[in-house]
Amino acid sequence: MELGTAFVMGILLGGLYGLVALGLSLIFGVVREMNLAHGDFVVLGSYFAYTIVTACGIDPILSLALGVPVFLVIGYVLQRFLLNYACRISHDTVLLVTFGISVVLQNVFHITWGPLSRNLTTPYTLSGLAFGRFHIPLPYLLDFLAAALFMTALYLFLKHTYLGRAIRAVAQEPTAAQLVGVNVERVHAITFGIATALCAVAGVFLGMTFSFTPSTGPAFLIMAFGVVVLGGLGSIVGTLIAGILFGLVQTLSGHFFGVVTQTLASYVMALVVLSIFPKGLFGK
């Protein structure tokens, strides 16, 4: 892989990583929980799309028409009827519960779809576009476009709608939010639903870019968390930039040290980020 190409691909991929992290950022910032199964939800998104694609033969991106609403509901229900109670017991409990969910999900994947890797390639994912010296595989471009689209949509939603403002309010001052009539529990559930729906989107595009297995989840969790910490809670642009940095670290590491080191590189970067920003960029 040529260096310039690796660079560009890293940036494009980073957009998608930003999207993965965005959901986690919402959960961490608004609901004040950590979802250890976040990466597995992304993989669930991939497998979900895979099922629809193999059953109906439609394009994976189109499958999102079903995937997004379904995941919205899954996230809402999970938060409203399980994690809500876990959170009241203690913060540790949420970690334990989401860890349990992660284990369950990974093994459900294993049983249902087997241990072999799958992917969501279509005839066009194998093609690419040429920009001067660079030949960029199409999925990477689509990844970035999708990320940009959904990030913009989320930004507009948070800025200009009553519900969006309520979500931001809950993130900043949950008590005061109650005092203006916001049902904080419901907002938590809706936010979790949105975050899970973002996982569905990320799952589709990641499945089109890479292959996935039942145990791909944790890698996404670690990376998403690193991006969240680096990008800062509450900043969509920050998350995008941090995502791009992680994308670059991955592709550049692949270029210099070989493809096998890519995941390892993002882990090391995540640990480094955590060490430098022990409480995140906007420490609480």
Partner 1 sequence: MTNPTEKDEVLLSVEDLEVSYGPFKVLMGVSLVVKKGEVVAVVGANGAGKSTLLNTIAGLLPIRRGKIIFEGKEITRAPAYARVHMGIALVPEGRRIFPELNVLENLLLGSYPKHARDDSKENLRRVFDLFPILEKRQKQSAKTLSGGEQQMLAIGRALMSKPKLLLLDEMSLGLAPLVVDSLYAAIEKIRLEGTTILFVEQNVRKSLSHSDRGYLMKGGKIALCGPSRDLLRERSIRQAYFGISEGK
Partner 2 sequence: MKKLDLLVIFSVLLLAVVPLAKVPSLFYTYACLYCFYLAMANMWNLVAGYAGLISLCPAAFVGLGGYTVILGTWFSLPWYLGLVLGGVVAALFAVLVSLPLFRLRGVYFTIGSFVVPEILKGIFLIWRPVGGTVYGRGAGYPIQGDALGQLTIYYLALGLAFLSLALVRRLSESPFGMAMRAIRDNESAAERCGVDTFKVKFEAFCISALVTGWAGGIYYLGQGYIEPLSGFGIQWLIAIMLSVIIGGRGTIGGPILGVGLFLFLYFLLTRYGELSLILQGSLLITIAIVVPQGLVGMVRKIKALLERRIAIYEIAQPKS
CB atoms within 10 A of CB 137: 18
Least Å distance between CB 2 and partner 2? Answer: 23
Report d(CA 124, CA 248) in Å as an integer.
24
Both structure tokens of 283: 């420490």
Please choose, out of 45-53, 86-94, 148-156, 177-185, the segment that lies near partner 1 by the rule CB under 8 A.
Answer: 177-185
Considering beta carbons, is residue 3 or 103 the nearer one to partner 2? 103
Please choose, out of 65-73, 129-137, 143-151, 176-184, the segment that lies near partner 1 by the rule CB under 8 A.
Answer: 176-184
Of 100, 117, 172, 237, the one binding partner 2 (CB under 8 A) is 100
Considering beta carbons, is residue 116 or 162 the nearer one to partner 1? 162
Of 112, 183, 237, 276, the one binding partner 1 (CB under 8 A) is 183
- Which amino acid would we find at residue 29? G
Of 19, 97, 166, 245, the one binding partner 1 (CB under 8 A) is 166
Q: Does residue 80 interact with partner 1 by CB under 8 A?
A: no
Of 207, 218, 231, 234, the one binding partner 1 (CB under 8 A) is 234
Contact positions vs partner 2 (CB under 8 A)? 28, 34, 36, 82, 85-86, 89-93, 95-97, 99-104, 106-108, 110-111, 218-219, 221-222, 225, 229, 260-261, 263-264, 267-268, 270-272, 274-275, 278-280
